[in-house]
Amino acid sequence: MLGPDYKVEASFGHIRDLPKSKMGVNLKTFVPEYIVPDDSEKHARTLRREAKVADHVWLATDLDREGEAIAWHLADIIKVPKAKLRRVTFHEITPAAIEEAFKHPREIDQDLVNAQQARRVVDRLVGYTMSPLLWKKIRYGLSAGRVQSVALRLIVDREREIQAFVPQEYWTLQAALANHAGETFSAEVIQHKGHKLEIHDGPTADRIRAALADAHYAVKSLEKKESGRNAAPPFTTSTLQQEASRKLGYSVKRTMVLAQQLYEGIAVGD
């Protein structure tokens, strides 16, 4: 797509990360202490070598905070003059989209990078502080996290609400009526003597129905309203997974595989 003057190299995700053997965050300044993992060091040397001989380095990582952070880390480790760096982003892997992106390069968005670093640091602080406590108090191998611990709390609270719930019957009464012209319509009994009608068992519903069977009814007012319904918003990753599971019975893994195939492009017929 780019032509013979370009050489494409993959970063294989994050080229740097926090060390696994220790906290890796200065607890006074909260500055992260990044390293290039051993299994990435050889590839990092390759990227440095290729960047050194290139006229320009185009950082085309994803258009999100993780992608922006990857671009920032790459720019830092390849050690080339800032004037050689170009940040480009695109939403689809097509010649037109890539050509348009390369026409409008930009600088790395440091706000996005900082957002990713803040999330990463909080993840590390919570995980590396709470997980060892779980190993001591409950069972070795358990983990805590910025997201999973809060989600677990929400699940536990909801389960307790479910267990404490006392089911109760609710009955409604529908009247089949007709006007003088013979046009039929239905109406629901919602009030009795100015109070909301609540029926919690069948015998009570039968008594009320019997009492109303021979009554005369009149329409006091008629009001017409127009209602509209907005189209459903575009899917997010989570809502796509939920709908695919609810309507199609797909697992999260299958849904994401299919979504990736759609993103890369598939033949859909003539």
Q: Report residue 13 as tokens.
A: 């995700």
Q: Tell me, yes or no, whether 71 and 181 share the same domain.
A: no
The answer to whether 67 and 75 are in contact (CB under 8 A) is no
In-domain check, residue 219: no
In-domain check, residue 12: yes
In-domain check, residue 22: yes
Q: Tell me, yes or no, whether 138 and 120 share the same domain.
A: yes
Task: Name the domain count of the chain.
Answer: 3
pLDDT of residue 211: 86
Q: Tell me, yes or no, whether 252 and 182 share the same domain.
A: no
pLDDT of residue 2: 78
pLDDT of residue 249: 95
pLDDT of residue 21: 93
For residue 194, the one-letter residue type is G
Q: Tell me, yes or no, whether 266 and 184 share the same domain.
A: no
Domain that holds residue 189: 174-212
Q: Report residue 114 as tokens.
A: 């900082």
Q: Tell me which DSSP letter residue 129 carries.
A: H
User: Closest by alpha carbon to 174, among 192, 191, 157, 189?
Assistant: 189
Q: Which helix (H) or strand (E) holds 113?
A: helix 110-137
CA 150, 151, 157 angle in degrees (round to 5)?
90
The answer to whether 11 and 74 are in contact (CB under 8 A) is yes
In-domain check, residue 55: yes
DSSP letters, 32-92, are: B--B--HHHHHHHHHHHHHHHH-S-EEE---SSHHHHHHHHHHHHHHT--GGGEEE---SS
pLDDT of residue 135: 94
* Distances in whole angstroms, Cα of residue 72 to Cα of each of 81, 113, 155, 237: 14, 7, 37, 25
Among 112, 142, 166, the domain boundary falls at 166
Q: Tell me, yes or no, whether 160 and 179 share the same domain.
A: no
In-domain check, residue 138: yes
Strand partners, 86: 58
Q: Tell me, yes or no, whether 87 and 180 share the same domain.
A: no
In-domain check, residue 223: no
User: Tokens 């191998």 — which residue?
Assistant: 141
pLDDT of residue 115: 97
CB atoms within 10 A of CB 32: 18
- CATH code at position 19: 3.40.50.140
Strands 85-87 and 195-196: unpaired
Q: Tell me, yes or no, whether 64 and 38 share the same domain.
A: yes
* Distances in whole angstroms, Cα of residue 50 to Cα of each of 46, 61, 64, 88, 243: 6, 17, 25, 18, 44
HSE toward the beta carbon, residue 153, CA cutoff 13 A: 6
Q: Tell me, yes or no, whether 208 and 256 share the same domain.
A: no
Strands 85-87 and 57-59: parallel
pTM for the model stands at: 0.66
Q: Report residue 238 as tokens.
A: 């989570």
Q: Which helix (H) or strand (E) holds 187?
A: strand 184-188
Q: Tell me, yes or no, whether 240 and 121 share the same domain.
A: no
User: Closest by alpha carbon to 38, among 15, 5, 68, 4?
Assistant: 15
Q: Tell me, yes or no, whether 35 and 160 share the same domain.
A: yes
Q: Tell me, yes or no, whether 138 and 189 share the same domain.
A: no
Q: Tell me, yes or no, whether 113 and 244 share the same domain.
A: no
For residue 143, the one-letter residue type is S
pLDDT of residue 179: 85
Among 128, 147, 166, the domain boundary falls at 166
The answer to whether 217 and 175 are in contact (CB under 8 A) is yes
Segments of the chain scoring below 70 in pLDDT: 1, 269-270
